[in-house]
Amino acid sequence: MPESIPTLQSATNFVLSHATDDDLTRLAGAMKQRRAALGSIRTATLTTGAAVRIAGIRPKYLNELTGQIARIDGKHATVTLDADSTDRLRYASQSRFVVPTEATSFDLPGVPLTCCLPTG
């Protein structure tokens, strides 16, 4: 007899009602592995020209900036920011980047591919 696939609701109910400390430790490890696998899959699909949103990066003021991948160098990318994100970076109080006043785009180098989430 085939094993049924648990739903998110059944997994959530198990965690909330029945999971022991050992169960939670095992689940945390499994979730970490799954996130790593999903990150590898996502990273492998990124190409030059892909529209992305930056997430999970430090410094935090870079989170939620958007643009397109201009270049990929190993595990990092240069992201050309769109006009709105260029403005946000220009006025970020703790930014180490100098964005010219007239610029409508800005090349942000060294963004880890794992922090580039496809938007399109």
pLDDT tens digits, one per residue of 18-59: 999 999 999 999 999 998 898 888 888 999 999 999 999 999
Average the pLDDT over each of 59-63, 93-97, 114-118 and give the range with the smallest value. 93-97
**Count of C-beta atoms within a 10 Å radius of residue 81:** 26
Evaluate whether residue 2 is within a structural domain.
Answer: no
pLDDT tens digits, one per residue of 1-22: 567 888 999 999 999 999 999 9
- Report the length, in residues, of the chain: 120
Type of residue found at 97: F
Please give the residue range of the domain that contains residue 119. 48-120
Tell me the three state secondary structure of residue 111.
strand
**Count of C-beta atoms within a 10 Å radius of residue 62:** 22
86: CATH: 2.30.30
Tell me the C-alpha distance between 117 and 3, whole Å: 33
